[in-house]
Amino acid sequence: MRAITDTVDRSSELFTTNVEAYERDLDVLAERMQFAITGGRGRSRSIQRHHDRGKVLPRDRVDMVIDEGSPFVELSTLAGWGQADDEFPGAGIVTGIGLVHGVPWMFIANDATVKGGSLFPAGIKKHVRAQDIAMENGLGCIYLVDSGGAFLPMQDEVFPDRDHFGGTFHRQARMSAAGLPQLSVVLGGCTAGGAYVPALSDENIMVEGIGRIFLGGPPIVKAALGEVIDPDELGGAALHTRESGVSDHMVGTEAEAYGLLRELCANTNQRRIDAPAGWLDVIEPEPPAHPAEEILGIINADTRIPFDVRQIIARLVDGSRFSEFKPEWGTSIVVGTTRIWGHLVGVIANNGIIFSEDALKATHFIELCNQRAIPLVFLQNTTGYMVGRDSEIGGIAKNGAKMVSAVANCRVPKFTVLIGGSFGAGNYGMCGRGFDPRFLFAWPNSRIATMAADTAETVLTDIRLGGMKGADTTEEEIAEIRRSIRGQYEEQSDPYYATSRLWDDGLISPLDTRDVLGLCLALAARGPGPDAGDRLVYRM
Ligand code: COA
């Protein structure tokens, strides 16, 4: 495989300015991550209270379960960011993938320091998404349960609909039936929805003194029956392991619980992460020839200045080698075969606007990868499909549709990273959320919307003024319309707005992207290969 020619000028002023700007972006990301982990109104008090009760914080709980040195790929840390007055840092729940005895598991851990671990809309979405990832990637689930169930003031947004609380139970039962183990440790006052999680698990452990399971907690029992009852008498570990049989194991401390949990995991007969892939060509990995740190200088802080995506690929893939397909045709899209952590992959990456030829080239390449069962990695940086009369005559609508259709119908695992703009139908053709990539991550410089704020300002102002035909509109009023449209688009295309709503599986640094993709590919390689189906290749 040929090496990508390095064209980056590290000594240029542009490179230095870009690095400085991107480092500021990464500082903001780190600060906001920290807020999700320990920040928020009254949070230090609730964290202290948690510790005073002898309880461990959710991320530390995960650390006590996973193998020493195992990575923990945390998902959607910033879910809920900027919503509900920031009362739910991290959406009150921690999800992610870690190894136990070399086997990857999905962890779903409530954060009782955020509104008693109760779930508001972004929290439910995060729980559901973690389960969907587990299902698609054949992962067992470990629930570290410490939750007051539905966040009652917003019950209409978390209780009744398809992907609300009921949907989490449905998924739990379906995964269990599919042979994906569902294991729980009960670590707090698990009420109502929180109670069904351990009750629906294949096997569960309760920690004496802190773990409780009840459909209605003491306040509900008092309201309903007028009885005042101690929480342990109502649903403590002794009651549930010795009398009701709701629980299978009782231990004295959290540390004992995680030791026992690791023992239970060892008996579940799951494939290790390094189990030989039956269907995908995987070889010894090799680091890229150029450091990922240079990506910070390649991405232009001024988004109007383009960059060559090959230079990004060179810093993500093994040996910076890339076998490019059709490099002389459809040059706004770059496609080719390469390896990430030894896994053979097809990469589809934008160099700006998608023209008809680009769409056809991408379609052809997607079909090739599908025929050869090669997973696809999409690197999105596009303002969308080309508009204008020439483009319409060239059939951009049908050619773009071919690409969209090929992405929708290919059966290989797909992974998407938003490395820049993700605008218009470009988001769809490049395997946005609606096209079910197994994972979708975004860089903190990315932007996602129907169109860029600049374009929206002009288009929507014209539409608005057109609708006000005849009315006298002053220059100030027009300026105000422009400002408000631009403000709306800037706010809503911000990556933090997106990640807060789980349009992605998390914001990640360019520096971590290769490792994250490597883990995603290892998960895919560990599972069954894509089903056969039709694997037609049409020359476009
Ligand atoms: N909905 C809304 N808020 C909830 C909640 C829920 N289901 N569960 C807990 N909270 C809030 C509390 O109001 C409190 O908010 P504040 O910090 O703004 O004062 C915070 O979470 C901590 O709750 P607190 O009761 O002080 O913590 P705790 O650790 O002593 O007890 C629970 C935790 C979960 C056992 C207890 O809060 C409880 O029983 N909650 C009600 C659970 C319930 O009835 N659920 C039914 C769901 S259908």
Tens-digit pLDDT profile for residues 69-86 = 999 999 999 999 999 999
What b/e readout covers 416-427, taking b as 16+ CB neighbours within 10 angstroms? Answer: bbbbbbbbbbbb
Predicted TM-score of the model (pTM): 0.96
Residue 66 token pair = 């996973």
Is the pLDDT reported for residue 536 higher than 90?
no
Percent share of the chain, pLDDT over 70: 100
Residue 194 one-letter amino acid: G
CB distance 40 to ligand 1 below 6 Å:
no
129 falls in which pLDDT band (50, 70, 90)? very high
| CA 116 – ligand 1 centroid, Å | 5
Please give the Cα distance from 348 to 435 (Å, whole number): 15
Index of the ligand 1 atom closest to the CA of residue 50: 29
Q: What totals of helices (H) and strands (E) does the chain contain, helices first?
A: 20, 16
Strands 439-442 and 414-423, by their bridges, are parallel
456 falls in which pLDDT band (50, 70, 90)? confident
Give the list of residues 6+ apart from residue 171 with CB closer than 8 angstroms, or none: 128, 131, 132, 135
Residue 79 token pair = 């879910």
Q: What is the CA radius of gyration of the chain?
A: 25
CB distance 138 to ligand 1 below 6 Å:
no
Please give the Cα distance from 278 to 519 (Å, whole number): 17
CB distance 235 to ligand 1 below 6 Å:
no
Residue nearest to atom 28 of ligand 1 (CA): 116
Cα–Cα nearest to 527, from 366, 406, 399, 375:
375
Give the residues across from 325 on adjacent strands.
Answer: 335
Task: Read off the pLDDT of each residue in 222-241 and give the average, rounded to a whole number.
Answer: 95
146 falls in which pLDDT band (50, 70, 90)? very high
Residue nearest to atom 41 of ligand 1 (CA): 148
Please give the Cα distance from 528 to 256 (Å, whole number): 35
CB distance 420 to ligand 1 below 6 Å:
no
Residue nearest to atom 26 of ligand 1 (CA): 116
| CA 42 – ligand 1 centroid, Å | 14
Residue nearest to atom 35 of ligand 1 (CA): 189
| Mean pLDDT rounded to a whole number for the chain | 95
Using a 10 angstrom Cβ sphere, with 0-12 exposed, 13-18 middle and 19 or more buried, the burial of residue 181 is buried
Helix (H) or strand (E) holding 250: strand 249-251
> Which of 57-66, 69-78, 216-225, 507-516 shows the lowest per-residue confidence on average (mean pLDDT)?
216-225
Task: List the alpha helices (DSSP H) in 250-307.
Answer: 254-266, 295-298
Residue 352 token pair = 């700006």
What is the reported pLDDT for 268? 98
What's the pLDDT tens digit per position in 359-375?
A: 999 999 999 999 999 99
Give the list of residues 6+ apart from residue 160 with CB closer than 8 angstroms, or none: 166
CB distance 406 to ligand 1 below 6 Å:
no
- E strands of 65-149, at which residues? 72-75, 93-100, 103-110, 140-145
Substitution candidate for ligand 1 out of 191, 210, 212 with most atoms within 8 A of CB: 191
Strands 93-100 and 72-75, by their bridges, are antiparallel
Q: Which residue has the tokens 């992974």?
A: 415
Index of the ligand 1 atom closest to the CA of residue 159: 48
Cα–Cα nearest to 387, from 362, 354, 420:
354
What's the pLDDT tens digit per position in 457-509?
A: 888 888 888 877 667 788 888 888 889 998 888 889 899 999 999 999 999 99
Using a 10 angstrom Cβ sphere, with 0-12 exposed, 13-18 middle and 19 or more buried, the burial of residue 148 is buried
What b/e readout covers 344-365, taking b as 16+ CB neighbours within 10 angstroms? Answer: bbbbbbbbbbbbbbbbbbbbbb
Residue 515 token pair = 């490792």
Name the more confident of 271 and 463: 271
Spatial contact of 382 and 422, defined as CB atoms under 8 Å apart: yes
Give the list of residues 6+ apart from residue 425 with CB closer than 8 angstroms, or none: 384, 385, 400, 404
Residue 121 token pair = 């809309």
